[in-house]
Amino acid sequence: MWFIFKLINLARKLSENQKTEIVKGALLGKAFIDLAKEYGCTPSTITRTVKLVLSDDQYAQLKRARSRGQLIKQDVSSFPEVLHQNSTNSSHENTENELTENDEFLEDSTWGNVSEDTNAPDLEEASTQDSFTEFVPLIPDLGWEEQKEVAVKPFKVDLLPETIYMLVDKKVELDSKPLKDFSQWSFLPEKDQNRLAILLFSNQRSAKRSCSRNQRVLKIQNRDVFRISCPFLVSKGITRLVIDDCLIALDLQEEGEPI
């Protein structure tokens, strides 16, 4: 069932026009969760789309304005050109991914030898002073807090794929990191940013692409391992699992009550 759901999500690709409308909606104060429902994707996908189109400074200003209950007006006339450039690069990357889709002949314990892609194109810089104008909000609730609340899912085994891949160091120690290191979850409350999380992968290829020289890819064929080890992980301060567009809370049961 999870695999079918994943295929549906993968098939749902946002067009350039949809990306433009998403950014317009974000700039006008529309809740990210509402945008996610409207375009059939997750809130983190909306976040990544907005961050992709806007510069870092523009996104930071947008985030600050929304948290203060303000709306932002942006001239989006330059968006189609930027989106077209991103779409071209995205298509090129997808072609490369298809060529390497069947590289399963590599050992699961292979040490990371895949160089990270550091040649991603920079988006055109826009003057934040000229392009942003703050004005009185038309709606009182922008949904930013709502997005924070719905982002985390209580742990249950069914949220995980049958086979899971994760990264460990040479001593087979867990590679945990704070959530603030995951850009797609930057909208979370500040109190959650220092929570330790483990990054999981639903396929071996993605895991190997994220694997550094001092790491290895570990294949876990029984997802129930995480249910059994949940109390141990929480005792070590690891309370979150990150996999694809899903953020899972180990310290919450399925019904949302603390463990």
**240-256 pLDDT tens trace:** 999 988 899 998 866 54
Q: Are 201 and 83 members of one domain?
A: no
Say yes or no: 79 and 57 in one domain. Answer: yes
Residues 6+ apart with CB under 8 A from 242: 179, 182, 185, 197, 198, 199, 200, 248
Q: Whole-structure pTM over 0.75, yes or no? A: no
The pLDDT of 50-76, averaged and rounded, is: 71
Task: Render pLDDT for 190-216 as a digit per residue (tens, 0 to 9).
Answer: 888 889 999 999 999 988 988 888 888
Residue 165 has pLDDT above 90, yes or no: yes
Fill in the amino acid letter for 254.
Answer: E
129, 155: one domain: no
pLDDT-based confidence at residue 235 (cuts at 50, 70, 90): very high
176 pLDDT more than 70: yes
Please answer whether residues 35 and 26 qualify as being in contact, where contact means their C-beta atoms are separated by less than 8 angstroms: yes
Same-domain check for residues 93 and 67: yes
The whole domain housing 156 covers 147-249
